[in-house]
Amino acid sequence: MDTLENLRSKTEGAKDLKSVVSAMKAMAASNIVQYETAVSSLADYFHTIALGIIAYFKAEKIAAINEQTTTKNKAEEVICAIVFGTDQGLVAQFNDSMANFVSSSLKALPGKKEIWAVGERVQLLLSDEGFNTSKLYPVPNDINAVTPLVTELLGKSQERQQKEAVTSFYIFHNQPKPGSGYTPIMQRFLPLDEKWKNSLQEIQWPTKLPPQIAGGVKPTLVALINGYLFASLYKASVESLASENASRLGAMQRAEKNITDLLEDLGKKYHRLRQSSIDEELFDVVSGFEALNKHAKK
C-alpha cells in the first residue's frame, strides 16, 4: 500500500526523469534542424549536378548509353546493398523496420546478395535474416563525420564495380516524412545505365539555349559523375540521421506525455491519501474530545 512518503518519492523520481526526457527531446529537435538544413542545401547542389550531366548529354549528342554485356546469368549476378541504420538507443523500430524492408526488397531481386551495413545493430538484424555482411561501418555521430564515411563508401563501391565483382549497388535508408515520422526507401546507386539516364532527363533544361561544355570533355564528365554519386550517398546518410532523430523525438514526446500523466495520477493519489489521513486525525480528535466530555459529566 502506498504511503505519503512513498508517493512523494515516486513524484520526485518522475520529475527527475521528465527533466532528462525534456533535455533529450530538445537535443533531438536541435539535431533534426541540423540534418534537415544539410538535406535542403544538398538539394540545390544535387539539382545543379543533374543539370550539368543533362548538359553534357545534350552538348555531346548522346542519345543512349551502351551497356557492357556480361556472360553472367541473373542467378550469378551479385547485388550489393548499402544499408543505413543506427546504433543509438530510444529510436523505437528504426532498425527493425529497415531490416524488414531490406529483406523483402532483396528477396524480390535475382542473384546473390551482399550487405554493406552502416551500424552494427541493423547488421545483426540482417544476419538473422540470412544475409551476408561483408563490410561494417560506424554510424556518423555528427554532420562532420558524414563526409569521410561517404568518401570511403564511394571509393569502395567504384573499385568493386570496376573489378566486376558486384553487378549493381542499391542504397537503403530511412527518409523523413513531411511533418513527422519516416519511411524506408530503396534507390539504385550503380551502375549508371540507360535507365538512370532516362530518369535524369525528366529534369528539364531551364533555358532554350543549347548547353556548351567549357574545358575538357572527359574531365568534366568525371567531375559531374563523381559529384552525382557523392551527393546520392551523402543525401542518404543525412536523411537517415534526420529520421533517427525524428524517431527519437517521437519517442521522447510519448515518454513526456506518459510521465505527465503519471505525475497527475500520483498527485491525485497523494492528495486523496493526505485528505484521508487528515480526516482520520480529525476523527481521533473528535472521538477523544467526546470521550473526555462524557467522563467529565460523570
* Partners of 173 in beta bridges: 185
pLDDT of residue 111: 85
- Going from the C-alpha of 127 to that of each of 63, 97, 163, the distances in angstroms are 42, 15, 26
One domain for residues 111 and 148:
yes
One domain for residues 153 and 279:
no
Q: Are strands 168-176 and 182-190 parallel, antiparallel or unpaired?
A: antiparallel
**22 found inside a domain:** no
One domain for residues 97 and 39:
yes
Contact 84, 240 (CB under 8 A): yes
Summarize pLDDT for 42-68 with one digit per residue, the tens. Answer: 888 888 888 888 888 877 777 666 555
One domain for residues 247 and 138:
yes
Cell matching residue 221: 564528365
Cell matching residue 154: 564511394
**Cα distance between residue 94 and residue 125, in whole Å:** 12
**Cα distance between residue 191 and residue 161, in whole Å:** 8
Summarize pLDDT for 92-118 with one digit per residue, the tens. Answer: 788 999 999 999 999 888 888 999 999
In 3-state terms, what secondary structure has residue 79?
strand
In 3-state terms, what secondary structure has residue 89?
coil
Mean pLDDT over the full length of the chain:
83
Cell matching residue 268: 491525485
pLDDT of residue 124: 93
One domain for residues 152 and 237:
yes
Closest C-alpha to 165, from 83, 80, 85, 245: 80
Residue with the larger pLDDT of the pair 60 and 188? 188
**239 found inside a domain:** yes
**What domain range is 8 assigned to?**
4-17+254-297
Residue with the larger pLDDT of the pair 212 and 235? 235
pLDDT of residue 80: 92
